[in-house]
Amino acid sequence: AWLGYREKPLEALFVFEKPTPVKSVMLSIGRNLGGYIFPPASIEVWAGNDRTKLQLMQKLNPVQPTQNEAVRIEAIETKVKEGSYTFIKVIARPVAKLPEWHGGKGQPAWVFVDEVFFN
């Protein structure tokens, strides 16, 4: 099942029963440029052992397409400071305005996510 976000970002808080070793977070995303589904404009990973004091571990700005491409599913991996965490928050922001070359130029893009992996 896919979750789609267009005008607001994906914000997901993952809670582990006890501190869990994590060195990367991977999002499985859909790409269907004709359907306005683009990679996220940015991905942030926050982590910590106190829900109210999470620290930004990584911010990634995925490469954006410059022309139409085939529909596909891909993984975007974000390295984080290796450690053991109880809370991990992932924020994936959609592209605010589709590029000039796109038929829907100026409209907001979608971000589709179906899985999040912790390694």
pLDDT band, residue 15 (cuts 50/70/90): very high
d(CA 106, CA 99) in angstroms, rounded, equals 7
Mean pLDDT of 23-46: 98
Query: What per-residue confidence (pLDDT) applies to 85?
Result: 97
Inter-residue contact 90 to 81 (CB < 8 Å): no
Mean pLDDT of 1-10: 96
Query: What per-residue confidence (pLDDT) applies to 97?
Result: 98
pTM value? 0.95
Query: What per-residue confidence (pLDDT) applies to 57?
Result: 96
Mean pLDDT of 85-105: 97
Query: What per-residue confidence (pLDDT) applies to 100?
Result: 97
Element spanning 80, H or E = strand 72-93
Residues 6+ apart with CB under 8 A from 1: 114
Query: What per-residue confidence (pLDDT) applies to 5?
Result: 98
* In the chain, % of residues over pLDDT 70: 100
